[in-house]
A and B are shown apart, each in its own frame.
Chain A
C-alpha cells in the first residue's frame, strides 16, 4: 500500500510538473504583447518596452521559467499584471465560489444521475426507462451555455422566480448549478443504467433474491455497491468537466469564481493569473483522482495495492 501510494504520488507530481511546463510554454511561445494590452491605447513603444522588461517578458524563456519556479516556491505564483497583487492570492480569493458551484453541481449529478439510472435499469423497457434515456440524451446534447440562457429566459426573465446573476445566497446558486450539472448528470444516469443492468444479470443477484432478500436490499446493497467503481471513476473524471464547464457557466451567470477570472485574465493577457488557474485546476483534478484510486480499496475489498 505504501509503495503504491508513493508511486502514485510520484506520478501525480510528474504530471503536475509537465502541466506547469506545458502551460508556461504555451503562454510564452505564442505571439501577443501583454504590455500593449495593459497600457492605455496609443502608448509609446518605449513605454511598452519598459513595461515588458519590468514584467520580465524580455528574458530568455528558461530564465522566465526559473523566475516562475522561484515564485512557486515562494508561494505567490508571480504578480498579477492586472491586479498588481500576488497571482495566487488573486486566484485563491475566487476558489470558494467555484468550489461551491462545483459541489452543488456534483451533488445534483450524483443524486439525480444515480436515481434516474437506477430507476431506468430496474424498470427496464417501461416508460420510466424511455423517459430516462431521452432525458440523458438531451442532457448530453444541450450546450451548457444555451441551457443556461434558456433557464435565465424562463426562470429569470419570464417567470421572475430566481436571480440570474451574482452571488448572494443559495437562490443564486440554483440556475448555475443546474446548468453545470446537466451534462455530467446525463452521463452518470446512462452509466448507472448500463452497469446496473449488467450486474442484475449476475448469479449472486439471483442468489440474493433466492434467499429471500427484499428487492430494495438487492438493488441498493448488492447491485449498486458493485456498480460503484465504474461510477466513481467517471464521476472523478467529471471533475475536469465541472471545472471546465465553470468557465462558461460562471461567465453566463456572472459568478465570481475561477472560471470567470480566467476568461477576464485572458482578455487582459494576465499570464500569471492564467497559468495559476490552469495549474490549480490541474492540481485539483489530479488530487481528486488520486483520492478516488485510494477509495477503490474501501469500496471493493478485493482491490489491494501492493
Chain B
C-alpha cells in the first residue's frame, strides 16, 4: 500500500475514481432537482459559467432537466453496471480458469477453444447482437458485459495455475495430505490474485466504455433513466445551439476511464515484479 502511494499516477487515478464514485453515491444529497421529471419552462439553459442560472450549475437539457442531477444519477447507473460486470466476469473467469488449469484434459481443451472463438469477435458487435435480443434490463446488460470480459481472467488464471502447480510448496502441501480442493483454494488461488486485480481495474475502464457505448447506440439503459451514454446521444442533436449537452457526460466518462486506466497501470507496475524498476 505504501508503495502504491509512492506511485503518483496511480494515486491520481485512484483519487479521480474515488471522487466520481463518491459523488455518484451521494447523488440524492448533491443533486438539487429531479433527474427524470421534465420542466419545459427552462429548456436548454447554459451552464452557470456561461451565464446560466445558479440553480442549474451545468445547465439543463432539451427537456429542462438539470444536467448535474442527471450526471450524478447517471453515474450511479453506469458505475454500478460496470462494477457488477467486472465482479461477475472475474468470478466466472477465475472459476473457469481454475477448473481448466487444475482438471486439464478435455474440459481444458473445450474451454480454451470457446475462449478463442470469443476472441475472434469484435466485443461490441457480440454485445449489441445479444442486447438486441435479450433486451436491456440491468441483469441482461451486466451479463452481456461480463460475457465479453471473462476470457481474460480464465486465460490468466489457467496460465498461473499451470505454473504454480509445478512449484515445490504445492507439492509439499500435497505430500502433507491436503485435498485437491484445499490446494486449489488455499495455495493456488491466492497466488493468482495479483494479476486478477490488475485486469479488474483496467477492465473497469473498458466496461464503462462498453456500457456507455451501448447506451449511446440506444441498446443500453433506456430513457428516461439517465445514463452517460444516452445523455451523450441526446446531446448530439443540439450541438449547434447547446453544445454542453454532449460535452459534459463525455467528460465524465473520460474522467472515469482515465482514473481506472491510471490506477490499473500503477497496480501493474507494482504487482508485476518483471516490470518493477
Q: Which residues does A use to contact B, with CB under 8 Å?
A: 11, 14-16, 18-19, 22-23, 26-27, 30-32, 137-138, 140-143, 145-146, 149-150, 152-153, 157, 240-241, 243-245, 247-248, 251-252, 262-263, 266-267, 269, 274, 277-278, 281-282, 285-286
Interface contacts (Cβ under 8 Å), in number, total 133
Contact B129 A278 (CB under 8 A): yes
The CA-CA distance from A9 to B130 in the complex, in Å, is 29
Within 8 A of A (CB), among B240-263: 240, 243, 246-247, 250, 253-254, 257-258, 261-262
CA distance A18 to B111 in the complex (A): 12
B213 touches A143 (CB 8 A): yes
Contact check, A248 vs B216: say whether CB atoms are below 8 A apart: yes
Query: B50 within 8 Å of A by Cβ?
Result: no
- Which single residue of chain A is at the shortest CB-CB distance from B131? A266
B interface list, Cβ under 8 A from A: 113-114, 116-126, 128-130, 132-135, 205, 209, 212-213, 216-217, 219, 229, 232, 235-236, 239-240, 243, 246-247, 250, 253-254, 257-258, 261-262
Chain A CB within 10 A, most for which of B121, B130, B239, B246: B121
Q: Which residue of A lies closest to B241 (CB)?
A: A157
Q: Determine whether the beta carbon of B258 is less than 8 Å from that of A137.
A: yes
Contact present for B126 and A263 (CB under 8 Å): no
Tell me, in angstroms, the Cα distance from A16 to B229 when the chains sit together: 32
Using CB atoms, name the residue of chain A closest to B265. A137
Is A263 a contact partner of B121 (Cβ separation < 8 A)? no
Q: Shortest Cβ distance from A103 into chain B, in angstroms?
A: 16
Q: Pick the residue among B123, B125, B133 that contacts A31 (CB under 8 A).
A: B133
Closest B residue to A263 using CB positions: B217
Neighbour of B236 across the interface among A149, A241, A285, CB < 8 A? A149
B240–A157 CB distance below 8 A: yes
Complex: how many Å from CA A48 to CA B116? Answer: 38
Q: Tell me whether B217 and A248 are in contact (CB under 8 A).
A: yes
- A143's partner among B121, B254, B262 (CB-CB below 8 A) is B254
B236 touches A15 (CB 8 A): no
Distance between Cα atoms of A15 and B212 in the complex (Å):
29
Q: How far is the CA of A157 from the CA of B212 in the complex (A)?
A: 24
Query: How many Å lie between the Cα of A162 and that of B35 in the bound state?
Result: 36
- A132 CB, min distance to chain B CBs, angstroms: 15
CB atoms of A137 and B262 under 8 A apart:
yes
* Candidates B240, B253, B262; contact of A146 at CB < 8 Å: B253
With A22-B117, A145-B216 known as contacts, the answer to whether A248 contacts B124 (CB < 8 A) is yes
- A selection of 11 A-B contacts at a CB cut-off of 8 Å is A18-B116, A19-B121, A32-B132, A141-B254, A146-B246, A153-B247, A262-B129, A263-B217, A278-B126, A281-B121, A282-B121
* Nearest chain B residue, comparing its CB with the CB of A277: B125
Most chain A beta carbons < 10 A, residue from B113, B130, B250: B250
